[in-house]
Amino acid sequence: MFNIVLHCPEIPGNTGSIGRTCVALGIPLILIRPYGFEITEKSVRRAGLDYWKHLKLIEYDSWNQFINLEKITNNSKLFFFENQANCTYFEAKFTNGAYLIFGGETKGIPDNLTTQYSEHIYKLPMNSPHIRSLNLSNVVTAAAYECLRQTSLLS
């Protein structure tokens, strides 16, 4: 199993869609505050449809609380996704217990984290100069299925 982590998500529809992907794969969704919305907003539930009640949702107030309460001592379990990464997610060596970490839609991952974990940052390739970024829920889904493929958890 692995985990999806959203650091300061801003758009409720994306969070809801990502929650739906997590339910489909049977993996937890970890949210780190602050959010750009209220977690009880209709738009989050609507994007998750009737699956939201089946989501294993874990919430933390800060990055430090997340690291401490998840008892993360091995940075090799952390996989950050950012547009400006040097490595693509095809180069990542996902393992069971991995944390796939995504920043807020407009702010991305904070600079202090990209500096601290610079060797653990990946991107999805984009070949068009006309696209600045992909939709967060699409990136999460692509990364989650690659992690699933690599960890041989397909059923």
pTM > 0.75: yes
The overall average pLDDT reported for the chain is: 92
- The domains found in the chain, sorted by start residue, are 3-150 (3.40.1280.10)
Six-digit token string for 123: 């991107």
Give the phi and the psi of residue 15 in degrees, each rounded to 5: -60, -40
Place of tokens 């089946």: 54
Q: Where are the alpha helices (DSSP H) in the chain?
A: 12-25, 42-48, 63-69, 111-116, 136-150
Q: What is the pLDDT of residues 96-148, one digit of tens each?
A: 999 999 999 999 999 999 999 999 999 999 999 999 899 999 999 999 999 99
